[in-house]
Amino acid sequence: MPSDKTPTRDVTLDTYRYLRGGMAVIIVMLGAAVIGDRLMATCWQTSISAYYFTTAHSIFIAALCALGVLFIVYKGSCDTEDVLLTLAGILAFIVAMVPTTRPGLLCAPYGLPADYEVKHAITNNVWGVVIALVTARVVSWRLHRRTKTTESRSVLGTLSICLLWLVMAVGFVAFIFFPSPFDSNAHAISAIIMFLALIATVVTTAFLVSREDDTKAPHRRLSLLFYWGIAALMVATLIAVVVLHLTLDRWSHWVIVSEIVLIAEFTVYWVVQTIELWRTPNRFELLPDADQAKLARRRPTRGPARLLPETVEVTRLPTGERLLTAL
């Protein structure tokens, strides 16, 4: 029989460690594939997305799909963060399945052949994503209903889920009725919304860090500076990426440089979180007891019903409690 001194493994904590660390490892895998392609080529492609057409093709798709799964599976400190990560995860699949426009020049003789028709691949693979998402939603809804485990969300969580459904509905309509514009624009639009959702989770993290108990989080002030700083840098870099894409007449390597910086910022964010939260699944346990109760509070109703008056009610709370209660 095992001794009483045998340490008990915390499966939940181990799972969170691997989820957070796994995101950084996947980015390293993508970076290695891109560098590997460059070693065989005469130049860099002008964007990370262009590596879809190179020898890094498989890793590019695999990395985005793996990140999509991790975003969806990961459960943060509040339901708003959960929904935003789910939105980012779904869009990561679209970014993977709908490539950017094929570059006029591949810097290496290897990669997808010039006559490779992406249109048929997009149609087939996006349908695969749609069917998988619908199946998962139906099964989860049925299981929650049968086991009576469905929970209501917070105010911002409900608004976020409405945004998620809106984005999915608009994308599905475009996919069915406007296939050519969808094929041409879904990659860029999905990537922008995905990073906006991720930046929103970083801002949420920064806010929650500002509320942490100093006795539970001794490095809170340093962490707070880091998270607000990384959020600001990600916003500035995303704006730079969009402006460069829209203003440059010809693809420039400034685009790939800005994309690499944005991806690096995202990676650093998850690495720091992995280290900081090594001993706890999420930030909920680092908050004072009173804040935990406020953060755990949910709307008495489900769905958009009475959402407006409940939102107004939250705005009437003291300034320091509004966002915490709404999350």
Contact 193, 167 (CB under 8 A): yes
Name the range with the highest mean pLDDT among 47-51, 68-72, 116-120, 249-253. 68-72
The closest alpha carbon to 207, from 326, 324, 48, belongs to 324
CA distances from 201 to 26, 86, 264, 287 (A): 19, 11, 16, 17
Q: How confident is the model at residue 62 (pLDDT cuts 50, 70, 90)?
A: very high
pLDDT at 37: 92
Distance CA 148, CA 110 (A): 54
Instruction: Return the amino acid letter for 46.
Output: T
DSSP 3-state helix, strand, coil percentages of the chain (rounded to 5)?
Answer: 75, 0, 25
Burial bucket for residue 132 (CB in 10 Å: 0-12, 13-18, 19+): exposed
Task: Write 248-253 long-range contacts (CB < 8 A, 24+).
Answer: 251/46, 251/47, 251/50, 251/103, 252/46, 253/44, 253/46
pLDDT tens, position by position, 193-226? 999 999 999 999 999 999 999 999 888 999 999 9
- Residue 47 above 80 pLDDT? yes
- Residue 177 above 80 pLDDT? yes
The secondary structure of 301-320 as a DSSP string is S-TTTTHHHHHHHHHTS-HH
Q: How confident is the model at residue 322 (pLDDT cuts 50, 70, 90)?
A: confident
- Residue 103 above 90 pLDDT? no
Burial 288-301 (b: 16+ CB within 10 A, else e): eeebbebbeeebee
Q: How many residues does the chain have?
A: 327
Maximal CA-CA distance, the chain:
72
pLDDT at 166: 96
Q: How confident is the model at residue 95 (pLDDT cuts 50, 70, 90)?
A: very high
User: What one-character DSSP code corresponds to residue 275?
Assistant: H
Distance CA 15, CA 73 (A): 11
- Residue 1 above 60 pLDDT? no
E-strand ranges in 216-259 read: none
pLDDT tens, position by position, 124-145? 999 999 999 999 999 999 998 8
- Residue 55 above 90 pLDDT? yes
% of the chain residues with pLDDT over 70: 97
- Residue 3 above 60 pLDDT? no
- Residue 5 above 70 pLDDT? no
pLDDT at 255: 83
Burial 232-244 (b: 16+ CB within 10 A, else e): ebbeebbebbeeb
Q: Look at the block and give the residue holding tokens 């400190």.
A: 77
pLDDT at 15: 93
Q: How confident is the model at residue 188 (pLDDT cuts 50, 70, 90)?
A: very high
Contact 212, 325 (CB under 8 A): no
Q: Look at the block and give the residue holding tokens 């499966």.
A: 11
